[in-house]
């Protein structure tokens, strides 16, 4: 009986060691996507340059182990520190992406490093680069973008010909994604706002305009 207990104990220890080694497998970053975006705010009437960075992360322990993300410019001594609540998770079949939109664009292009940290302190990094503008790139967009509703359809001016319209409901959920050509389009009846997205191939930048309100916010009632 004593030998059996020892054997059982040994098996339990070995099993615990195997499970522990599996649960602490080092995560990986399969690829990094970064893009400079020109964003138009209809409330302010201004364009700003913003940065988007997303990482395809892989872990045997699932996606909940990732806890912190750092974007680091080693040469320029700049960095962004992002807690888990700051980034946007994007899950696709067989893929997990995490990152953020709308970061202030660094003053200078060049190499950067993305450092992903798990709750247990494991670290994995991947390099990416913010590319400079081509020498022959046209000027950045500066025209005011406007959207007006008429007869149940929306008409946009100051925008590009080929773009996407993303409509959102009151809960912030996407209710439609429509590829659009031309200035006129529809949005679902449940939408309360929409954003416009496109890509400027000549400048190598994403384009975003919005949000445009479909329904004005409800006014508080006097009691």
Q: Name, in order, each residue with C-beta under 8 angstroms of 202's C-beta and a sequence gap of 6 or more.
A: 134, 137, 138
* pLDDT the model gives residue 14: 36
pTM, entire model: 0.74
Pick the CATH number of 28-130 from 2.60.40, 1.10.3470, 1.10.8, 3.30.70: 2.60.40
pLDDT higher than 60, residue 20: no
pLDDT classification of 217: cutoffs 50, 70, 90: low
Buried b (16+ CB within 10 A) or exposed e, 60-97: ebeeebbebbebbbeeeeeebebeeeebeeeeeeeebb
Q: Is the pLDDT of residue 19 over 60?
A: no
Q: What is the pLDDT of residue 221?
A: 58
**Each residue's pLDDT tens digit, 133-189:** 888 889 988 999 999 998 889 999 999 999 999 999 999 899 999 999 999 999 999
Q: Say which residue the tokens 């339990």 belong to.
A: 12
Range with the lowest mean pLDDT among 157-171, 192-206, 209-223?
209-223
Phi-psi region of 45 (alpha: psi -120 to 50; beta: other; left: phi over 0): left
Tokens 């004593």 locate to 2
**Total residue count of the chain as it appears in this document:** 223
Residue 76's pLDDT is: 73
**Mean of per-residue pLDDT scores for the chain:** 82
Domain boundaries, the chain: 28-130, 146-213
pLDDT tens per residue, range 104-137: 888 788 899 998 888 888 888 899 888 888 888 8
């Amino acid at each position: 009986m004593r030998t059996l207990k020892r054997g059982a104990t040994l098996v339990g220890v070995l099993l615990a060691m195997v499970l522990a080694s599996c649960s602490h497998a080092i995560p990986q970053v399969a690829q990094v996507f970064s893009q400079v975006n020109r964003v138009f705010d209809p409330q302010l009437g201004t364009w700003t340059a913003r940065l988007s960075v997303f990482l395809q992360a892989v872990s045997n322990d699932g996606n909940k182990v990732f806890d912190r993300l750092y974007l680091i410019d080693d040469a320029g001594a700049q960095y962004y520190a992002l807690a888990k609540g700051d980034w946007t998770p994007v899950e696709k079949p067989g893929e997990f992406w995490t990152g953020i939109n709308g970061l202030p664009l660094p003053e200078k292009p060049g190499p950067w490093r993305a450092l992903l940290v798990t709750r247990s302190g494991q670290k994995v990094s991947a390099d990416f680069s913010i590319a400079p503008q081509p020498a022959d790139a046209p000027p950045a967009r500066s025209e005011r973008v406007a959207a007006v509703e008429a007869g149940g359809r929306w008409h946009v001016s100051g925008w590009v010909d080929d773009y996407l319209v993303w409509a959102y409901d009151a809960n912030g959920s996407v209710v439609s994604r429509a590829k659009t050509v031309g200035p006129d389009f529809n949005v679902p009846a449940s939408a309360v706002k929409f954003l416009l997205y496109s890509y400027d191939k000549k400048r190598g930048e994403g384009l975003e305009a919005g949000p445009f309100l479909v329904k004005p916010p409800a006014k508080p009632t006097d009691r």
